[in-house]
Amino acid sequence: MAKSETPMTMTKKKKLEGRFILSIIMVAVIIISITATFFHNVLREKSIQLEEHLATYKPMIDTRDSSYNSLLNKLKDRQINIDNYYDEYNLITKEYKNNHKNYLAIKNRLKTEDSILGYTSLKNFALSVGIRFFVLIVSLFYFSSKIKQYYESKNQRIFYLIISSLFVLTSSYWFTWSLVYKVNSLGEYDFEHWHQNALLIVSPILILVSSYFLFKHYQTIEERLKKVISILFDQILYVIPEKGYVKQEKESEYTKLNSKVIIEVGKEINK
């Protein structure tokens, strides 16, 4: 017959499962944040189509200059007069301007297709956002450690919480900035839209507050469990013997048994 699990065994199993899942999530976040700082290296700064199109610029200029030189040589050799020269010169210039206009139109279209959230390419986007995401994750880990840390005084706790909170707010601001900023046609950062400015203020505060309550939630659960265990130990070690529920000849055995239980529980808590 299969042996049924005791409440202690079930609690231990759930605790191990919870820690395992939390460890997997933390490792995944760390790997993703580190990978994000290197991911841009595998991306192209320009698409193949854009590079091929940019390569057509120099031949276009060479063709124009060659036509100008040929026309000038004809004038020097008196093959054409000055009026013919200006007429043909204007024709060459007009053709070049039309070609250049088409070139710029295609170039701008391809650059628009390559751009993402105001960045000229996915590579630049991954570089900018990846580094800021990594800094944000590091600051959140630091913030979490300062929430859970034991402090000798209230002032010390307040000091470290303020410092770690500033790290989170700063990294959150720049991470949000990397996602919402836009570049106008002059290459300047454009913050004219009110929702972009609002996000730069609201997002860091939301990240800080939500992470604080999340970390505090897990800390509160641990503290409650420790308090429950402390109450149970007080009941077992002090109240029960004082009330005379343990026979005098059994007190020594009762104390030894409780000592073993305390050691086992201590091991579980410190795991």
Q: Where are the domains of the chain?
A: 33-215, 229-270
Q: Where are the beta strands (DSSP E) in the chain?
A: 182-183, 189-190
182: β partners: 190
Buried b (16+ CB within 10 A) or exposed e, 136-167: bbebbeebbebbeeeeeeeeeeeebbeebbeb
pLDDT in tens, the chain (271 residues): 444 455 545 555 566 666 667 678 778 888 888 888 888 888 888 888 999 999 999 999 999 999 999 988 888 888 888 888 899 999 999 999 999 999 999 998 888 888 887 788 888 888 888 999 999 999 998 888 888 776 777 888 888 889 999 999 999 999 988 888 665 444 555 555 677 778 888 999 999 998 888 887 765 555 655 666 666 666 666 656 666 655 665 656 656 666 666 666 555 555 5
Cβ burial 73-102 (10 Å sphere, 16+ → b, else e): eebeeeeeeeeeeeebeeebeeebeeeeee
Contact status, residue 31 vs residue 134, Cβ threshold 8 Å: no
Predicted structure pTM score: 0.63
For residue 69, the tally of other CB atoms under 10 A from its CB is 10
Q: What is the Cα–Cα distance from 90 to 95, expressed in whole angstroms?
A: 9
User: Would you state the pLDDT for residue 2?
Assistant: 45
- Distance from C-alpha of 49 to C-alpha of 31, rounded to nearest angstrom: 33
Q: What is the pLDDT of residue 60?
A: 93
According to DSSP H, which parts of 192-250 are helical?
A: 194-234, 240-242
Cα 183 to Cα 7, 48, 99, 176, 191, distances in angstroms: 60, 23, 27, 15, 9
Q: Would you mind telling me the total number of residues written for the chain in this entry? A: 271
Point out which residues pair with 183 in neighbouring strands.
189
DSSP element (H, E) containing 148:
helix 122-148
